[in-house]
Structure 1
């Protein structure tokens, strides 16, 4: 008896049409962020407002809210939360847990867990391979390194800065993956949840900008990476087809006959 895949859109978090729309939005966002960093001085203008030239320092660099709470306490809390979700996914993978037997619950857990791993990891790997410097390392802000834009070659003798994208912001930006909790049935709440998660991640990044640790576009690229990874995970991990049903070859599926209250006559 052959097996046919009967499509069931309820098993998917995102439709193909929605996936294409998200991919197009990500492409446009990447072009916009690139243009901001390459063709405007928005990074320098914002950093200038945060830097005290008279004192020669970023006043927020050692402030408790930015340096202790944001950079240490909040990061630790988010790392512990990520670790708990990853552990739950691992345990469920070896010993399936009843709460995740509900439709799409296990898929949602795995997407969030993978996001908690891949968003910080990808950001860190890209950061280690970049030449961009942090503001506090630049000669403009009391350091010794030259300022370069994305994809510009470093001047002779300059060392790579390894500061793009913003690593610290990624410790919160994996929260964008929580959008799957409202998919596919509540797209409005999903968009609001994604916006709230991005706001948290960008706020964490903003605190680092106040300290002179990153430019605006560093944080924006981290947010873009997080959104791209979450979207890719949803599209890759969700079922590509539908529920598999056994249907005899050569037969057609017919709607069941309406029930009437009378028994059919017995064959003669």
Structure 2
């Protein structure tokens, strides 16, 4: 069965995110939908976001969840560094150091990191570039968070990102667009492209899980008044495009669009049933 065409590949991975960006721009940035959503979350009595100063909610939804992307990035950095160690020892298998590594069973870990060096380096680079893109956009648009604006008791005027955008100079002190916490969850999209490269059968399930994680990360900040809902969508769009382009450079289109591997165990019963009874093993 022929795999997806080049056209389908770019329509899915580039066309759909750009279409989503246009929808978000028209639906949120050019309307008051963001403010309508945030207004629904206000406490009518106090006019404040009830979860804004809730320390337990802050810890559970903001501080603890960062552990997952942070540890993923740190492990990728450590694995990348270790991947350059084993080839040096493998060249001298009879040396004392090589024998010690095999005795302590560390050699297996080092061999594993060497085998997946490209994937580890990809995760490191994808994380770094995604973070860089988000920070660049934050500093060059100077969008203030809802609770920092006069709409919700703050002192700053509300502005859309395109009203104050600057390519080269920092636009101001605002740092709220796109959503930073949401982007930290979306950075795990790098794992999806690693799964696609290795044709893992559950890659799409991983994609759905990461997208949901990013949405949850972003939505919790909306509940606190620190972001508008569109900030989460923009974070996902920019992280996807950055990670996808990085994966394209690391792996190439053919590796990323190859069909998932079919588990041989799932086909075994069908093959046995199709075999004549006289030829089946007893």
- The number of residue pairs the alignment matches comes to 226
Question: How does 1:207-226 map onto structure 2 within 5 Å?
Answer: 207-226=220-239
For residues 254 and 243 of structure 2, the distance between their equivalents in structure 1, rounded to whole angstroms, comes to 20
Q: 2:146–2:225: 8 Å Cα contact kept in structure 1?
A: yes
Q: CA deviation at 1:184?
A: 4.5
2:205 partner SS:
helix
Higher-Rg member (1/2): 1
**TM-score computed with the length of structure 2 as normaliser:** 0.70
Distance 1:109 1:149, change over 3 A: same
For residues 238 and 24 of structure 2, the distance between their equivalents in structure 1, rounded to whole angstroms, comes to 12
Greater helix content: 2
Q: CA deviation at 1:149?
A: 2.2
Question: How does 1:85-100 map onto structure 2 within 5 Å?
Answer: 85-93=76-84, 95=86, 97-100=110-113
Q: CA RMSD in A?
A: 3.0
Q: CA deviation at 1:24?
A: 1.3
Q: 2:86–2:111: 8 Å Cα contact kept in structure 1?
A: no
Q: Deviations over 1:205-255 (max 9, x none)?
A: 11111111111111111111111111101111125899xxxxxxxxxxxxx
Find out whether 1:124 has 2:115 as its counterpart: no
For residues 235 and 92 of structure 1, the distance between their equivalents in structure 2, rounded to whole angstroms, comes to 22
- Which stretch has the larger CA shift, 60-69 or 135-144? 60-69
* Structure 2: stretches of 5+ with no match in the other structure: 88-109, 166-170, 256-282
Q: 2:141–2:164: 8 Å Cα contact kept in structure 1?
A: no
Alignment correspondent of 1:237:
250
Alignment correspondent of 1:35:
26
Q: Deviations over 1:111-143 (max 9, x none)?
A: 222222222232122112212110101111111
Alignment correspondent of 1:168:
181
**TM-score computed with the length of structure 1 as normaliser:** 0.73
Q: 2:84–2:114: 8 Å Cα contact kept in structure 1?
A: no
Distance 1:139 1:107, change over 3 A: same
Alignment correspondent of 2:118:
107
